[in-house]
Structure 1
Amino acid sequence: MSTPTVSIEQTGAVLRIAWNRPEALNALTSEMLAAASVAIEESAGRRAIRVIVLSGEGRAFSSGADLAKVNPDQALGAETIDAANRLIRSIRAVPLPVVAAVGGPAAGVGCSIALAADIAVAAESAYFLLAFASVGLMPDGGATALVPAAIGRARASRMAMLAERIHANTAVDWGLIAKVFPDDRFEEELGKLVARLASGPTAAYAQIKRSFDETALGGLDSALAAERAGQLALFATRDFAEGTAAFHEKRAPRFVGE
């Protein structure tokens, strides 16, 4: 099931999906997102799988969409957004607990994916970053629904508009994630959590997910649609062209608001 850029492995009752581009801080492509979606969707019909873990190889969970391959004179297009939206829907729809194991930075749509999990845990050195505004874009991957549902509109606006790094201890204090573990015990504590979920009442977990989706995340589909429309409009702006040029040239962008 694995691909060169996504490691997919079942060990006992646990399906582990890991981004595997450590040299690029696990920057995501549409192909990587699609591979993860297929793995999650197929797990729904496999009784042997009881919990799913999302993680990243190397020192990052994910730095977000792969802007390093984007020509600043061209729009990203809808392909990556659609692939990300499919993954978010797959995470929420699968009748199994999904754990995001964030051992390093989770930025951009990588942050959105981590927060879509049922339980997101992080190493103390990790941080969460909605970096979209830094290149003239808006959050996507469901973040405009997921983040306010977790921490409220004021803090969500702070994350989205100021593109601040929210370090793991702050993230757990805010309610953005569930737990923080010391770096040197991260894998050990993650293993305990995953084992507990794998031995738990998965039928009950499925109903808990379904209820939360209907209450706390009832607007997720609308948010995904609004994000897609807004992002496609922003791809055509001078600010996005400037933001990506500045990213490639490693300098501060000069936005003009159009």
Structure 2
Amino acid sequence: MGLGDVTRAGVLAAVKECQYLGRETFLRRYGFGRATTYELVLDGNRYDSKAIAGVAHLYSVGNLLPAEDFSGGARTVAHRLRVLGFTVEDGISVADGTQQVAPQLVLQPRGGARDRGPQNFAKSIRQGIRITDIRNALGEQADALAALYPSGIARLWGSTPAARSNNEKARALRGRRVGDDVFFYAKNHFIARARILHLFDSPPVARMVWGTDENSATWEHIMALGEIEEFSTPVLAAPILRSLDVPAPLRSLTLRSSDDYLRVVRLLPVRRPQVSRNLRHRFPPRLHS
């Protein structure tokens, strides 16, 4: 057993315990030191990546991965956490502030009946795709999706290639990243939101899940999504698009910056807290000094 057994749910559980105990108590309890280079960044807070990974192993498979049994570096802990969809910053990016933590805003047209948008949304977002059904097409992505979705059900959405190399869609495909928030648009409203957990390109997976469009293109630029929330009351898009200088109706995948997102966040529904079914554990009793 090793870092490959660490799951996303296990990491979230370790983070929650660290929040409960406090950093120093958490590190002492499990025998880890402070991070010297790599930090896990989650919801604007920083955590010692190696300690979180070691304790996440406990929550994932039942036994702690002690500090002396593995190294914390770019090819080990940082790589595993990034595969699971988390942001990890090294000493350089932490010091000079070159890496943004706040999510960007991805505006995603769902598509209409002609594009099979409603059917595809119901199939691969609301219902989800069984990883076992597409494993042969996934190749090296199979392990990443299995780690992201312990239930075995992946929530996927894809985009066809951009017609030009520097149009709005092409810039969004290049610039979106893990941790960004995605808002789905249909019939002049935003109908749902999600968070990007993983990004990959795969025409075989796209053809297996969604087929091809009338031009024989497929939705090969794929987002693996989590924290999906369909709005009980769709949100009128016009005021938001106007504030972002985006033409209405929304016709293309569009990316806006973290600062732009902050400008319109008051116009969007407050995110409902979500508790993963995989985090049903009891925290240790509070320590008394």
Smaller-chain TM-score bracket: under 0.3
Specify which structure has the higher proportion of strand. 2
Q: Which has the larger radius of gyration?
A: 2
Q: When you count helix as a share of all residues, which structure comes out higher? A: 1
**Length-normalised TM-score, structure 2:** 0.24
TM-score normalised over the length of structure 1? 0.26
